[in-house]
Structure 1
Amino acid sequence: MRSAGLLPVAIGFAGFATAQFPPKPEGQKILRSKFHENVTITYKEPNICEPSSSARSYAGYVHLPPGFLDDVDGEKQDYPINNFFWFFEARNSPQDAPLAIWLNGGPGASSMIGLLSENGPCIINEDSETTRPNPWSWNNHVNMLYIDQPNQVGFSYDEPTNGTAVYDDQRIYPGEFPEGAPEGNYTHRLGTFPSQKPSHTTNSTAQAAHALWHFAQTWFTEFPHYKPVDDRISLWAESYGGHYGPGFARFFQEQNEKIEDGTIEDGNAHYLHLDTLGIVNGFMDSVIQSEYYIDFPYNNTYDIQVFNQSLYDELKRNWTTPGGCKDQLTTCQDRLSAFDVNTVNRGHVQPADVCDIAPECDDAVPALYASLNRGWLDIANPAAEPFPLPSSTATPPRSPSSPPSAPPSTSPSTPPPSPPTSPAPATRSTAGSSTPSPTSSIRGSAST
């Protein structure tokens, strides 16, 4: 099975054994926008998920040049945006099926998590090189579009940059190796990644919504393999998608209203028929949800008491006392709501500038929970997950004598530097709420 460059994760095994970076991809189709100068789509059929199925899939990029997002006040986009997508036709009557967009959260989590381990058409086998069909895939009756966003997340990138992913501290270190690349092992891998520059990604939900809308305008109007009878679009977002989903749906609807009344500046803008917003395990309101970080470890339906009575009482007192954690978070929300959404971004206003939150209120409870050796996503498990990592991430290095052809995996790797019209995928970097915090693993965030 060959990915022909779309998921060139061979650097995870044969790549670093031979001290080479991923090769330049081949066989892509390049589509230049009829409506916007220097906007392109590159794509191909990867034949990784269910290649024997009659349902076709296409993976590639929508390329937006620097300055394309400058129509929104407060944002200076002086970097290219190359958003990765993977589109799957519905297995049944794709021409009559609606379309669903899937976004993982994080912020900074790749949507390949959802594709390869949640609701996508295939599951990675134990050998990390082959796949099997997922009988419960959402594309049984819906056309599915998985998008890595914002820029520098997943396979989306700004500038292809060679470097090293170090697993110990889950960071990516850009750097060339003029005297030859070192041999990799289980602690680090070589690859080609996004630039890791914090200024080269959107850093607010409002700006991310704007970037995704431009992606959607290009993809839905110009991608040649999506010509539906049913033009309904549903948006599904997980975890931090509790912020992304409502923010994106709101912006899309506002743009639709401008299109309808003729007040939008872009005369080529296309009405997007939003039908449903779905939120999976959503993080929506820190004031409401943070209290349950205290309650659930103490009293839950599993009869597992992680916090004892004295610790629970102390945390609850810190939360409820006048001027305590709840009041501090509420004050922060109120202060931020006074700013226009377009000013809360790069170079203008950051939450730290207006919020004075005590250390014991700033992620202290999740950190305390983690220190007590309980699993973050499953309270019944210890912090050291007893089950093996998903096959999409847990692949050992191979010797040069037995390299895989092109294993499908979410372990990150991206293309070597190439022109904007012929890029290959980039790897994931995990963005924080304001700036990216690059990491080498697609599961680097507890909230995905």
Structure 2
Amino acid sequence: MLIQFPSFLAVSVLASLAAQVLGLNILQGSEFAGKRSVEERDGVVHTIFEHDATGATIDYVKNSGICETTPGVNQYSGYFSVGKYEHVVLENGPCQFYNNASTPSLNPYSWNEYANMIYVDEPIGTGFSYGNDTVVGTVSAAPFILIPTEFAYYFEQQNAAIHNKSLHAEKINLVALGINNGWYDAIIQEREYISFSVNNTYYPLINTSIADAYVANYTATCLPALLACNSTTEETPQCHNAEQQCNTVDSSFSAYYPDFDPYDIRQPGSAPFPPETYVNYLNDPAVLKAIGAKTNYSECSDAVDVPFAQFGDGSRSFLPTLSSVVQSGITVLIWAGDADAVCDWFGGFASVNAIEYSGSAEFSSKAVQNYTLGGVAKGTYKSVGNLSWLRVFASGHEVPAFQPEVALQVFKQTLQKKPISPT
């Protein structure tokens, strides 16, 4: 029931994998055998699949009638148990809330128009997921499904282990990776935020003299601390220290900024779009019952955020991981709405230019061109080999919400294993 899911991983799912994810075709192979049962709870029919080999369970509702109402289109919502006390939500719903409506309407540009989609609330504690969360950072979250870059890298590692026969499991054919307004490298993006603050498309958030002082503080305090944080996996005090040092610098300059929505600087702090009415809808008891939810919906979870901050996750660089994914030959799209200040496009553009792969030199030197939809410029882009970059005009953090038609065109092109191209 997630209203939008701007980042994506495209996979060719075999029947045996579908058996694990949705409890279907469960007798297709002994390694995927399990028990399937049906229960009615409070008038709602639940299907439960228990996997013999791992003990994992899936508990889902089919065609709840919530959000997806297109005839002939199936929808599943429910829970996948990834541990004794860890329950991740699997859900699917191509809808949107228009004009602050209290109920959703079908989105004609939903990615479900082109592909079967699975949306996952993870780590534990986000969305409808619940249980004892053991995740402290991006890397530790990858086995349970989280950040697309690390998730893709983890898939490829597991596929290699299967190929080498050191792991007995089913390969997942990863086709493409897309990341919308992501955070890749703190050294690059902390600095580029200052540039965005002065030179973004819409209006200066701070003046040049304040920006100069900001850069000086970043260089003296934040940058050295970030340089000392050079691991994505170890619980090192250097990374937590970097998180604190950079937060201190950022906070010391926050008073100079005007009131604006950081996810869309064109809007005031109390942003009307995307509307927050969806939170109330998802916590409606009738909706919770229909989709099989076992806890209320959590849009932002401090309980999840705190361990990530203590681990210093945001201070670590995931560029080497992203580079490895690109080097593997997977089609990769890095895109960003140009009005987002949380993970601004200046930092995204600088990060994608720093990705190392066979086309690096050509990519970093290549000029951007207009990306058009029906002949109308909707952004600027460049592609070399299997790597594409796209800056989307007039879009905040959630590109599919602000520019749904553009997002669908980009999604289709990427899933076809092609570089994005104007139309």
TM-score range relative to shorter protein: 0.5 to 0.7
User: Between Structure 1 and Structure 2, how many residues are aligned?
Assistant: 269
Give the whole-Å Cα distance in 2 for the aligned partners of 1:406 and 1:127: 20
Alignment check: 8 A CA contact 2:97 2:103 kept:
yes
Give the whole-Å Cα distance in 2 for the aligned partners of 1:253 and 1:82: 24
Matched, 1:362 2:362: no
Residue number in structure 1 paired with 2:192: 292
Report the Cα offset of residue 156 of structure 1.
0.7
Report the Cα offset of residue 434 of structure 1.
2.7
CA distance 1:127–1:314, change in 2 (3 Å): closer
Residue number in structure 1 paired with 2:154: 251
Residue number in structure 2 paired with 1:165: none
Instruction: Name the SS of the counterpart of 2:212 in structure 1.
Output: helix
Report the Cα offset of residue 315 of structure 1.
0.7
Residue number in structure 2 paired with 1:73: none
Report the Cα offset of residue 84 of structure 1.
0.4
Residue number in structure 1 paired with 2:105: 132
Give the whole-Å Cα distance in 2 for the aligned partners of 1:125 and 1:355: 41
Matched, 1:434 2:307: yes
Report the Cα offset of residue 128 of structure 1.
5.3
Superposed CA RMSD in Å reads 3.6
CA distance 1:436–1:352, change in 2 (3 Å): closer
Report the Cα offset of residue 48 of structure 1.
0.7
Paired amino acid for 1:138: W
Residue number in structure 2 paired with 1:377: 263
Give the whole-Å Cα distance in 1 for the aligned partners of 2:249 and 2:45: 50
Paired amino acid for 1:263: S
Instruction: Name the SS of the counterpart of 1:293 in structure 2.
Output: helix
Residue number in structure 1 paired with 2:90: 85
Alignment check: 8 A CA contact 1:209 1:251 kept:
yes
Residue number in structure 1 paired with 2:314: none
Instruction: Name the SS of the counterpart of 1:144 in structure 2.
Output: coil
CA distance 1:24–1:305, change in 2 (3 Å): same
Alignment check: 8 A CA contact 1:157 1:426 kept:
no
Q: Which runs of 5+ in 1 are unaligned?
A: 1-22, 67-79, 88-119, 160-199, 213-240, 398-403, 416-421, 438-444
Q: Greater helix percent: which structure? A: 2
Alignment check: 8 A CA contact 2:226 2:239 kept:
no
Alignment map for 1:33-432 (pairs within 5 Å): 33-37=51-55, 39-45=56-62, 46-66=64-84, 80-87=85-92, 121-124=94-97, 129-158=102-131, 200-212=133-145, 244-264=147-167, 267=168, 269-302=169-202, 304-320=203-219, 323-332=220-229, 334=230, 336=231, 341=233, 344=234, 349=235, 351-352=236-237, 356-357=241-242, 361-362=246-247, 364-365=249-250, 368-369=253-254, 372-385=258-271, 389-393=275-279, 406-407=286-287, 424-428=294-298, 429-430=301-302, 431-432=304-305
Give the whole-Å Cα distance in 2 for the aligned partners of 1:355 and 1:153: 22
CA distance 1:57–1:366, change in 2 (3 Å): farther
**Identity level (%):** 27
Instruction: Name the SS of the counterpart of 2:215 in structure 1.
Output: helix
Residue number in structure 1 paired with 2:330: none
Report the Cα offset of residue 356 of structure 1.
3.8
Alignment check: 8 A CA contact 1:63 1:81 kept:
yes
Q: Which runs of 5+ in 2 are unaligned?
A: 1-40, 311-340, 344-396, 398-423
